[in-house]
Amino acid sequence: MSALWTSAEIAAATGGTASADFDVSGVTFDSREVGGGDLFVAMPGTVHDGHDFLDQAIASGAAGLLVSKPCDHPHVLVDDVARALEALGKAARARSGATIIGVTGSVGKTSTKEALYAALDRWQPGAVHRSVKSYNNHTGVPLSLARLPREAKFAVLEMGMNNKGEIATLTRFVRPHVALITTIAPAHIENLGSEEAIADAKAEIFEGLEPEGIAVIPNDSPHRDRLVRAARRHAERIVTFGTGDADVHALHAVRAERGGSLITAALLDSDITFTISQRGEHWVWNALAVLTAVEAVGGDLALAGLALADLGGLKGRGERHRILLDGGEALVIDESYNANPASMAATLKSFGAEGGIDRRIAVLGPMRELGDHARQLHADLAPAVLDARVEELVLVGDDMRPLEDALGDSIHVTRASDADAAADAVERLLRPGDAVLVKASNSIGLAQVVERLTREDA
């Protein structure tokens, strides 16, 4: 396999000057992630400047540096490192012959991206690229593109936003052949003001579609028609997924013996029966979205079904841990990475359907970027909590008071000031046979609760 980039190619793409000849096999802007052969991009920052970590990057094995200040190590010198990374991402996209799938949505975009990657990689092992983590913003997308191997046949790239116009910029970097929207929900409503505005912002993904591009749209969204109208201006073909008259829809979906779901889906050209290992109705829709995209690019649907069956829990997004206690074990479900009203409701519904447990304990923290709607949207979670048959509820932070007030005396609530206090509360409550759900926006830091509980993972 050829080098990801040569120093000459980096210089040509960025308009920079190479100090020496070198090849790189990877790209990163996080000095903690540098591996052998990487290009370390010395990004400026509000807290740290990447130029302060050049020696550390080289010591960790970096083959070269992308810098705006001269240094003694092999490097490419540019005027603006951030713009140079964007240019490198554009150059990677321009040279690539890969089929590109862009993914966005208010809920489930990272999970769907990972599932779609697994489905395509089962069919074309080693030939599929994806954005890692949630690298989906103005720096993450160019980085993900810059990492795109020249031999890749497929790439799955996630795009996120907080404001209008952000996805429009990102999709013109990515230039997808297939643009997929998972769902529309009131995430980032603080900045955008309404779900309609959120739908419009997500629909910007269609603006970057390549000629003969395909738009994949959730049929069950109340904003379906709005998304379809936006897609018509840019897409050669529109495919919907979901229920009812969706182009790709579930004929039936039932709970599988070991959790997850057994699904029979009607695709465009055939029917398929498969299982998914992930629990919850929302994962049925994620799976349908994945199969729609796989069919759109001519992939192997049977292998995609197998990949969905084998897909393990994703860290912070449904990963499951069995922990040993005196006299038995308990289940911890890690949903700590993100939260908005739609994902909270879906996760609680799945939690309520969890079998083989004695008691349900939910650790819930605030949902961010809801603006003036925050109090009401937190209070509106009360029916979902009750329907999930939660016996013990740990609420983290003052922003959860509206939910506590809405629940009244219907459930026992323990209030916690932060993640450490929440972990203390769960450790006092926990007993064999319990299941613990941990969910909040990532900035709340409830991953610490999971880490505390799972230190002695079974």
Residue 90: alpha-carbon gap to chain centroid: 22
DSSP one-letter code for 457 = B
Residue 79 identity (one-letter amino acid): D
What SS3 state is found at 10? helix
Q: Is residue 109 a known part of a binding site?
A: yes
Q: Is residue 106 a known part of a binding site?
A: yes
What SS3 state is found at 46? coil
Sign of CA dihedral 165, 170, 171, 175: positive
Q: Which residues pair with 38 in a beta bridge?
A: 26
The length of the chain in residues reads: 458
Q: How far lies 340's CA from each of 108, 288, 448, in Å?
A: 11, 21, 19
Q: How far lies 436's CA from each of 75, 175, 430, in Å?
A: 49, 41, 8
Comparing CA positions, the residue from 116, 139, 122 lying closest to residue 130 is 116
Question: Distance between CA 399 and CA 371 in Å, rounded?
Answer: 12
Q: How far lies 275's CA from each of 278, 306, 310, 355, in Å?
A: 9, 8, 9, 18
Which are the contacts of 230, defined by CB distance < 8 A and separation ≥ 6?
200, 203, 206
Q: With beta carbons less than 8 A apart as the criterion, state whether 34 and 62 touch.
A: yes
Q: Which residues pair with 76 in a beta bridge?
A: 18, 66
Lookup: tokens for 106: 């208010």
Comparing CA positions, the residue from 163, 164, 167, 169 lying closest to residue 181 is 167
Question: Distance between CA 444 and CA 335 in Å, rounded?
Answer: 12
DSSP for 299-354, written as a single string: --HHHHHHHHHH--PBTTBBEEEEEEETTEEEEEEEE-S---HHHHHHHHHHHHT-
Q: Is residue 108 a known part of a binding site?
A: yes
Question: Distance between CA 389 and CA 435 in Å, rounded?
Answer: 12
Binding site for ATP: what residues are annotated? Answer: 105-111
Binding site: what residues are annotated? Answer: 105-111
